[in-house]
């Protein structure tokens, strides 16, 4: 009996201990579950806070709303602060609106957009939103479609594209303005690519006698450009860079010859390298200049006539004397014959140069050796220089002297310059003529030891009828400047009072082909 009671007491104690242990474990689990639940709640609250902060600080407006089966949109379910600020509504006011209340497009304009949104998970489009105060904002919207428990919802992210639209408008207006300027220009404006015309304005079409752009575009320029300019044109395209005031002769689509000045500028067209050509028609100016050059040439010929007649009379007198000796019975000998031959050659050189001046001007560009040309001019003017005890010094150590030009016109230039140098000098002195090569050009300087010119006189050089000579017309230098300009060259002048003057003519050498 006692043993049974003892055993019962032990069982009750064990059961009590087990109950206590189970109670402790339940309390621990409850505590852990509670702690876990609280932790998850805290993390969830933190996530919600972070999400709301991010949602409301996006620079793009965000709208969330439901889409019904008929394609219509319900009121906004959620919007961020950017959406409210942009449109000028409070959050409560926004949640009472739907997309159709803020969209500025007409119904027929918005319908295809809605159909696209309804049929695609994601769509991007542009529209206009209307502010509460009536202001309109161009926007770009990217939509994302969601299906929740069988119902469709839309999240729209909306970006203000006012600046982009303003930039696009400015670019469009600038382009239209540029096109208007190009099309209204009196100069031909073209684009050359791979040796073909790819763009031409109205003036260019008129210049080349093209009735439509199709007649000109796609055609090789070498079909129209005078052959003498082909090599130089290819060289310019190859080297690139800006090339101003290029003289070019063309044959139009109707066979008419046109003289032009061209500016070549490197550019791009449809993503490829090209050359923009600005072409000025100088055909009429060319005729006028030609008449002026010819008139000035005749003026020079008239002034030289007396000197040349005197120069020819001297050898003729010698020849006449020898003839009289021979008639009187004097037997011709080697010395007499050599003198007579030298005098005849002198007459031949002078008369040939004089005839060259009197010939009609040749307008074709050919290879001209400037060394020979200047030498011939010196021979022609040597008599005038000799009368005033003026000598010539020629410094010529250059290798390249060939230019592309009109020989008679270039000869007239150096007759003008050297004759002027002789006239401005008193008795005795030296005229120095120097040749130099520099970066594809030949520079020919004519330096005199005359009285020189002031700064004010230098500024007026080349003006019609301005001259520093007592009986001058001023046309000689004007013609000189025009001729060199037409040969794509330059004339530079340096002068000091009582220290002489230097005229330097700069002409492009003929490009050497590798």
Q: Is residue 179 part of a domain?
A: no
Q: What is the pLDDT of residues 338-352, one digit of tens each?
A: 777 777 876 776 666
My answer on whether 255 and 292 are in the same domain is no
pLDDT band at 445 (very low <50, low <70, confident <90, very high): very high
**176 lies in some domain:** no
152 and 270 assigned to the same domain = no
The mean pLDDT value for 65-85 works out to: 86
Q: What angle do CA 117, 120, 125 make, to 5 degrees?
A: 45
Same domain, 359 and 501: yes
Alpha-carbon gap, residue 158 to 142, rounded angstroms: 7
435 or 388, greater pLDDT: 435
CA atoms of 193 and 276, how far apart (whole Å): 9
Mark whether 394 and 256 lie in a shared domain. no
Of the candidates 236, 256, 281, which is a domain's last residue?
Answer: 281
Owning domain of residue 221: 185-281
Rounded CA gap, 246 and 347, in Å?
Answer: 40
Are 345 and 470 found together in one domain?
yes
With b meaning 16 or more CB within 10 Å and e meaning fewer, what string describes 63-94? bbbbbeeeeebeebeebbebbbebbebeeeeb
Question: How far apart (Å, rounded) are the C-alpha atoms in residues 238 and 230?
Answer: 12
| More confident of the two residues 360 and 270 | 270
User: In this structure, is residue 180 part of a structural domain?
Assistant: no
The DSSP letter of residue 195 is T
Calculate ∠ Cα 55-58-61, nearest 5°.
Answer: 90
pLDDT digits (tens, 9 = 90+) for 77-133: 888 888 999 999 999 999 999 888 998 887 677 777 777 777 777 888 889 999 999
The mean pLDDT of the chain is 79
Give the pLDDT of residue 121. 78
Kindly write down the DSSP assignment for every residue of 46-86, as one continuous string: HHHHHHHHHHHH-SSEEEEEEE-TTS-EEEEEEE-HHHHHH
Pairing relation of β-strands 390-396 and 429-438?
Answer: parallel
Does some domain include residue 177?
no
Rounded Cα distance, 118 and 155, in Å: 12
Are 76 and 26 found together in one domain?
A: no
pLDDT digits (tens, 9 = 90+) for 199-230: 999 999 999 999 899 999 999 999 999 888 88
CATH number at residue 456: 3.30.565.10
173 belongs to a structural domain? no
Model pLDDT for residues 279-318, shown as the tens digit of each residue = 988 887 766 666 665 665 566 556 556 556 656 766 777 7
| Domain assignment present for 171 | no
Query: With 50 as the cut, is the pLDDT of residue 408 above it?
Result: yes
Does residue 514 belong to any structural domain of this protein? no
Q: How many domains does the chain have?
A: 4
Domain stops at, among 136, 165, 194: 165
Chain mean position to CA 443? 28
Closest CA to 384 of 423, 414, 411, 416: 423
- Distance between CA atoms of residues 232 and 226, nearest Å: 11
Residues facing residue 190 across a β-bridge? 200, 277
pLDDT given for residue 133 in this prediction: 93
What's the token pair of residue 358? Answer: 């009197």
Output the pLDDT for position 401: 92
Give me the CATH number covering residue 152: 3.30.450.20
Q: Which of 79-93, 175-189, 328-342, 383-397 has the lowest mean pLDDT?
A: 328-342
Residue 336 CA to its chain's centroid (Å) = 68
Same domain, 71 and 13: no
Q: Which pLDDT value is given to residue 14?
A: 58
Task: Give the model's pLDDT for residue 419.
Answer: 87
Both 489 and 357 in a single domain? Answer: yes
User: Which range is most confident: 219-228, 420-429, 474-483?
Assistant: 219-228
pTM: 0.41
Same domain, 141 and 23: no
DSSP states of 117-141: HHH-SEEEEEEEEE-TTS-EEEEEE
Q: What is the pLDDT of residue 199?
A: 92
Q: Do 275 and 192 form a contact (C-beta atoms < 8 A)? A: yes
Name the DSSP letter for residue 181: H
30 & 161 share domain: no
Q: Report yes or no on 513 lying in a domain.
A: no
Q: Are 499 and 363 found together in one domain?
A: yes
Q: Are residues 248 and 196 in the same domain?
A: yes
């Amino acid at each position: 009996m006692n043993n049974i009671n003892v055993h019962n007491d032990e069982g009750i104690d064990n059961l009590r201990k087990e109950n206590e242990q189970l109670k402790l474990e339940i309390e621990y689990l409850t505590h852990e579950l509670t702690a876990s639940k609280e932790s998850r709640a805290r993390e969830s609250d933190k996530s919600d806070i972070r999400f709301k902060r991010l949602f409301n600080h996006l620079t793009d407006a965000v709208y969330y709303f439901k889409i019904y089966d008929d394609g219509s949109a319900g009121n906004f379910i959620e919007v961020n602060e950017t959406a409210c600020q942009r449109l000028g509504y409070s959050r409560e006011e926004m949640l009472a609106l739907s997309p159709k209340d803020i969209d500025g497009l007409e119904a027929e304009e918005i319908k295809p957009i809605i159909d696209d949104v309804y049929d695609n998970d994601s769509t991007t489009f542009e529209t206009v939103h209307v502010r509460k105060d009536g202001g309109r904002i161009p926007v770009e919207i990217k939509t994302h479609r969601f299906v929740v428990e069988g119902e469709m919802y839309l999240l729209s992210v909306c970006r203000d594209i006012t600046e982009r639209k303003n930039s696009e408008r400015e670019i469009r207006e600038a382009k239209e303005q540029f096109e208007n300027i190009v099309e209204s220009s009196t100069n031909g404006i073209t684009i050359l690519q791979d040796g073909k015309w790819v763009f031409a304005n109205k003036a260019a079409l008129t210049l080349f006698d093209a009735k439509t752009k199709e007649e000109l575009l796609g055609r090789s320029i070498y079909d129209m450009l005078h052959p003498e300019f082909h090599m130089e044109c290819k060289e310019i395209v190859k080297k690139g860079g800006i090339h101003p005031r290029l003289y070019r002769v063309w044959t139009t689509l109707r066979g008419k010859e046109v003289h032009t000045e061209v500016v070549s500028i490197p550019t791009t067209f449809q993503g490829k390298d090209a050359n923009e050509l600005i072409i000025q028609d100088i055909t009429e100016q060319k005729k006028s200049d030609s008449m002026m050059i010819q008139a000035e040439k005749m003026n020079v010929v008239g002034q030289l006539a007396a000197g040349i007649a005197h120069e020819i009379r001297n050898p003729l007198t010698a020849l006449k004397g020898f003839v009289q000796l021979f008639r009187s019975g004097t037997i011709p000998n080697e010395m007499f014959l050599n003198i007579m031959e030298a005098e005849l050659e002198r007459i031949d050189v002078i008369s040939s140069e004089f005839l060259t001046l009197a010939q009609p001007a040749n307008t074709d560009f050919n290879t001209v050796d400037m060394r020979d040309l200047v030498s011939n001019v010196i021979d022609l003017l040597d008599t005038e220089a000799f009368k005033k005890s003026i000598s010539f010094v020629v410094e010529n150590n250059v290798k390249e002297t060939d230019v592309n030009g009109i020989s008679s016109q270039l000869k007239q230039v150096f007759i003008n310059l050297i004759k002027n140098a002789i006239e401005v000098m008193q008795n005795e002195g030296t005229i120095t003529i120097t040749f130099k090569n520099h970066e594809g050009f030949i520079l020919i300087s004519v330096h005199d030891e005359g009285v020189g010119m002031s700064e004010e006189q230098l500024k007026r050089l080349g003006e019609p009828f301005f001259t520093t000579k007592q009986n001058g017309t001023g046309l000689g230098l004007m013609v000189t400047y025009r001729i060199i300009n037409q040969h794509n060259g330059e004339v530079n002048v340096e002068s000091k009072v009582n220290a002489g003057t230097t005229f330097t003519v700069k002409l492009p050498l003929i490009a050497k082909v590798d």
